[in-house]
Structure 1
Amino acid sequence: MGAIFLAIGSATASAGGISLQLENDSFGRTSDADYTQGLRLSYTTDGPAGWVQSLLPERYQNRELATQVFLGQAIFTPFEVFETDLLEYDRPYAGWLYLGGALQSVDLNPGSSLRVAERFEVSVGIVGPSSGAEQAQRATHALLRTYDVNGWENQLRDEPTLQLSYARKWAHIQSVGERGLQLEWSATLGGHLGNVNRSLVSGVGVRFGRDLFSSLEVSALAPYTTGPESGMRAGGWYLYSELQLRFVSRDIFLDGNTFKDSHSVEKETRVGEWQFGLVLPTGRYHWSAYHARRSQEFIDQYADVNFFGIGLSASF
């Protein structure tokens, strides 16, 4: 909870930006399965309030800092959404509504092509009917005049959530040619702790584009909405690709409720994810589009998980 109030308290410290991301497995096809939709609205400041920075350890005093407040929702369904009965062999219906805050830092080392970025997140939320996932999906399908989803009576039960996440990214950026283009190679380590997800995360990535130093953010890691956001300040355009490997000890969307009886499936403890996309600026706006492919998350899963994401960020 502390990081949430730190982020909210610093929201007026300096100009920042607002970002909206939407992920869905139905872009380009008509179906719902597994991770079917994610939505995240976030507000980022260019720097925290002075009193917040004074509370940080000495090693953060010479770093570029940003704080963020975010609100999100995630929806999960089994493959056969027309069935009304509980599908013992498939994942549970589940929804998650969460509110969180984040602190991000970038090590400023003049003259060095190596940059180090860190991100710490904390969120509180609710899994179950109170998340509004059923209503959100039904409203979307009614708006699009498509099929109904019949199995929400079998969803996970209400459970409050507390989730902590941390990631550290090392990035080497080098110039390519004489047109101001740059290439970045990066490695990321991190993890999650909480009753939603407990896992360790490792990743490698590459970016190619312009003004990469100004957008050295650490993207939010699953189970949150995963796509790129506008960084510390408005940057240039870039193409990117990232590969992650997650070692999972708990996933509430597969293991079921923590303290109540609920449907569950046997999860895979190692999950890989590959993502690629692009970010384009138009004035103070940044547009992003990406595709992700996630390996099977539980035993006997019908297929790998595929979803697309789009995002819009506006800098103030």
Structure 2
Amino acid sequence: MGVCGLATFNNPAVAGNLSLQLENDSFDGASDADYTQGMRLAYTSDSPPQWATSLLPERYRGREIRAQYFLGQAIFTPYEVFETELLEYDRPYAGWLYLGAALHSVNLIPESQLATAERFEISAGIVGPSSGAEQAQKSLHRVIHTYEVNGWDNQLRDEPALMLSYARKWAHIRNVGDSGFNVEFFGTLGGNLGNVNTALASGVGVRFGRDLYSTVSVSALSPATSAPTSELSAGDGWYLFSDLQLRYVHWDIFLDGNTFKDSHSVEKEPTVGELRFGMVFSTGRLRWSLYHARRSQEFVDQYADVQFSAIGLTASF
């Protein structure tokens, strides 16, 4: 549940935005391994379908509710990508192609310096060759003139993928003297349920910037690319953020292998920690986000911790 929002100096009203987020371990100069590449395209609207909001409990009436629709792909590989044979000691090759929708609610209580955000999300797609992960990775490597990845014949088999997600954030926002800046301390809880990933997570974090009330948001727990968050704002500004998350993972198809068919798998670590830090800055109706993530080892005898970086661009309208 990362923090990828926007703190702005002024916030013209916007009805929606379109965002693209890219994650890759090669942004840091590393070689392909583990979670190696991700993409997520999302559209956020301030007009969620009435039938969807009617399903929410009464306590959500009067809150700011947004809808988000997204399409994404995630790619996982073992460390030794030059090898053609199955590497029993390393994670499987795997790809995940998915689309989904989410409802995001925000409750601001400025007089108490408090805010909460919640996110309900559903995604559906496919894991396996039909995800197009092999073609996507090989095409990228041809474009940037780098080495070939040779082990995709050993990837997980095709399997329909469904996941339900929920996340909640509690934030305490304080002014920093008379500087006009704010600091936000927050905690998060969330989880996933599905054959892609079943897990629980909790986290803590901090943001520093200006007018943080305008960008309170939370993203769902994900085994791959974090969802672009759902705030709707525009203007000129920036903020810095860092968060630490601890996950208990009951099921991860990218480590445990196919759910309904025999496949390669590894012995996963049930508890995983992740540290992220980065910044968000905007000018007018364009917003950029940059961050780096370091994740503890996800399976027994993993070569090293997982590291990747991300860049995101959001256009508001």
User: Do these two structures clear the TM 0.5 threshold for a shared fold by scoring above it?
Assistant: yes
1:189-240 deviation digits (Å, cap 9, x = unpaired): 1100000001000000100001211111102322241275462333642100
Which deviates more from structure 2 when the two are superposed, residues 107-116 or residues 248-257?
Answer: 107-116
> Which letter maps to 1:177?
G
Q: Does 1:33 align with 2:33?
A: yes
Question: How does 1:1-316 map onto structure 2 within 5 Å?
Answer: 15-226=15-226, 229=229, 231-234=231-234, 236-316=237-317
In structure 2, C-alpha distance between the alignment counterparts of 1:30 and 1:202, rounded to whole Å:
28
CA deviations on 1:48-106 (whole Å, 9 max, x unpaired) are 24454344321111211111000000000000000000000000000000000000101
Measured against aligned partners, the alpha-carbon deviations of 1:150-170 in whole angstroms (never above 9, x if no partner) come to 000000000001100101100
Whether the 8 Å CA contact 1:82–1:148 is kept in 2: the answer is yes
Q: For 1:264-302, what per-residue CA distance to the aligned partner results, in whole angstroms no more than 9, with x for missing partners?
A: 000000000000000001111110000000000000000
* d(CA) in 2 for partners of 1:138, 1:161: 23
Write the distance in 2 (CA, Å) between the matches of 1:224 and 1:168.
19
Q: Which residue of 2 aligns with 1:3?
A: none
Report the Cα distance in structure 2 between the residues aligned to 1:141 and 1:188, rounded to whole angstroms.
Answer: 37
Equivalent residue pairs, number: 303
Shift of 1:46: 1.9
* Alignment partner, residue 4 of structure 2: none
CA offset at residue 109 of structure 1?
Answer: 2.9
CA distance in 2 between counterparts of 1:63 and 1:223 reads 29
When structure 1 is superposed on structure 2, of 173-182 and 119-128 the one drifting more is 173-182
TM-aligned CA distance change 1:219 to 1:54, over 3 Å: closer
Asked if structure 2 preserves the Cα contact closer than 8 Å seen for 1:19 and 1:229, the reply is: no
Q: CA RMSD in A?
A: 1.4
Change (3 A) 1:253 1:51: closer
Q: 1:230 to 1:165 in 2, by over 3 A?
A: closer
Cα pair distance change 1:228/1:277, threshold 3 Å: farther
In structure 2, the CA distance between the partners of 1:211 and 1:178, relative to structure 1 (3 Å rule), is same
Contact 1:62 1:108 in 2 (8 A): no
For 2:303 and 2:113, locate their aligned partners in 1 and report how far apart those are by CA, in whole Å: 44
Offset of 1:30 from its aligned partner? 4.6
2:153 counterpart SS class: helix
Residues 1:251 and 1:50: Cα distance change in structure 2 (over 3 Å): closer
The answer to whether the 8 Å contact 1:217/1:232 transfers is no
| Aligned partner letter, 1:158 | D
For the 8 Å contact 1:230–1:313, the answer to whether it is kept is no
1:88 and 1:41, CA in 2 relative to 1: closer, same or farther beyond 3 A? same
Q: Which runs of 5+ in 1 are unaligned?
A: 1-13
Distance 1:224 1:300, change over 3 A: closer
3-state DSSP of counterpart to 1:138: helix
Moved more, 38-47 or 78-87: 38-47
In 2, are the aligned partners of 1:227 and 1:309 still within 8 Å (CA)? no
The answer to whether the 8 A contact 1:86-1:151 is kept is: yes
Asked whether the equivalents of residues 66 and 230 of structure 2 are also in contact (C-alpha less than 8 Å), the reply is no
5+ residue gaps in structure 2? 1-13
